[in-house]
Structure 1
Amino acid sequence: MTVKVEHLTGGYGKRPVIKDINFELRKGEIVGLIGLNGAGKSTTIKHMLGLLTPMEGQLTISGIDIKQDVESYRRKLSYIPESPVIYDELTLQEHINMTAMAYNINKEEAMKRARPLLKIFRLENELDIFPSHFSKGMKQKVMIICAFIVDPDLYIIDEPFLGLDPLGIQSMLDLMVEKKEEERTVLMSTHILATAEKYCDRFLIMDKGQIVAFGDIDELRDQTGLSGKTLDEIYIHVTQGGQHS
């Protein structure tokens, strides 16, 4: 299983925000997508989700091209957004059921997968509650549970730690590592670079709509000529106009 983004140019309207983006994600790895606000991270993610139509380029997951079979493509991924998307009229149980229906998972199997997640995030007694009444952190946990019952090839996670307490953050990281060990792929957009450096196998740094560095920490050091530097230092260097390949 690989995820391929080839010659992706796109954005909103006629003006491209991202230009000729190329990268490949391998199974069994966590990749950190990092960059300043406005660098093109969210635009890249929206194209990968099929929410925006590319001006140019090709997107495939496990050999399925988004242009040829968008439904099969979308079932290969799950998404945790930066801001939780909660339906006021649905209980937590109904959010799980709706996710199961969208991915052709029967309700019993969905609940079997959901129970350990509900326990981890301490929501096992909240199934009949409307999450619209939850705190932001609890709403984020609902998003995480729904994303992780799907068991797709690719997890796209946008700023996953916003609103989570320290226990929730560690639980989220543990889940990502678990999926990596199951040979799934995780693409995580984050500004928390110390955590990214600890948990990610490779890093994709974007600036002004382009990829300015991509690889593991040693490859980033080679690409930037910053031997022995941390991810934080490399990031600041390339986004402040330092030399990059």
Structure 2
Amino acid sequence: MQPLLKVEKLTGGYSRKKPVLHELSFSVRPGEMVGLIGLNGAGKSTTIKHILGLMQPHSGQILLNGRSVEQDPTAYRQTYAYVPENPLLYEELTVKEHLEMAAMAYGIPKDAFEERAAALLDEFQMTANWNRLSAHLSKGMKQKVMIMSAFLVRPALYIIDEPFLGLDPLGIRALLELMVRVKESGGAILISSHILSTIERYGDRFLLLHQGRLTAEGDVEALREQADMPGASLDDLFCSLVTRDVTLR
């Protein structure tokens, strides 16, 4: 199966004299969840910003469905939905208006919008907050609005950054169940998280970034082989791999 997202020899960052990312290459295919893991400052957020088209690579390229953001910015950006670590909402808009705005941006018909929105509101226990201004929502509720906006539009690729922070247990369960359904329907997910025990259960492959380089990749069994730690958990593999002096491939 051809990759939906393809990152090829990406070098980038905020300064050409001191890049954050070095020759980074990986792919995400339809129907799989790929976990992007690493220490703080490893380059995870910088990688995501490059994929979103918010930063220009120093070298290398990023392709979504075979096209770059420069070739067709609108089509490129409609291929993905992004859930940031910190929810970004308009305080003067209601929950309903945020979801309506997402639907309009992706061209979702009214009947499909109403059906999808009702299901998501019920799933995340947000129906009673339908007409509530975002300024009056808790951080966890705001995060739910961001998640609902992303899953409402049903893009080919979901890019999710630390989604579990601030969510209550029912919200976490609802999100995990949604991600499973996305995979089963052929959608792709790139998720960055420090909650390794959770993404170990749901992720298909993992990309370990360390100091801006891809130091290990593969499913849990492949990481165990690279670390020479049979039966180890993702938590233990992570700690071992990032503290080694040599780069493991």
TM-score by length of 1: 0.96
Q: Is the 8 A contact 2:92 2:134 kept in 1?
A: no
Deviations 1:84-120 (A, max 9, x none): 0010111111101111121122333222211100001
Question: How many residues align structurally?
Answer: 245
Write out aligned runs for 1:96-175 (5 A): 96-175=99-178
Structure 1 unaligned regions, length at least 5:
none
Write out aligned runs for 1:1-245 (5 A): 2-14=4-16, 15-243=18-246, 244-245=248-249
Cα displacement (A) at 1:242: 4.9
Q: Please give the root-mean-square deviation of Cα atoms over the aligned residues, in Å.
A: 1.2
Q: For the residues of structure 1 that align with 2:131 and 2:140, how far apart are their CA atoms?
A: 18
Cα displacement (A) at 1:77: 0.3
Q: For the residues of structure 1 that align with 2:120 and 2:89, how far apart are their CA atoms?
A: 18
Q: For the residues of structure 2 that align with 1:82 and 1:107, how far apart are their CA atoms?
A: 29
Residue type of the alignment partner of 2:7? V
Q: Is the 8 A contact 2:143 2:166 kept in 1?
A: yes
Cα displacement (A) at 1:211: 0.6
> Which structure has greater strand proportion?
1
Q: For the residues of structure 2 that align with 1:168 and 1:127, how far apart are their CA atoms?
A: 16
Q: For the residues of structure 1 that align with 2:148 and 2:231, how far apart are their CA atoms?
A: 38
Question: Percent identity between the aligned chains?
Answer: 50
Q: For the residues of structure 1 that align with 2:114 and 2:133, how far apart are their CA atoms?
A: 17
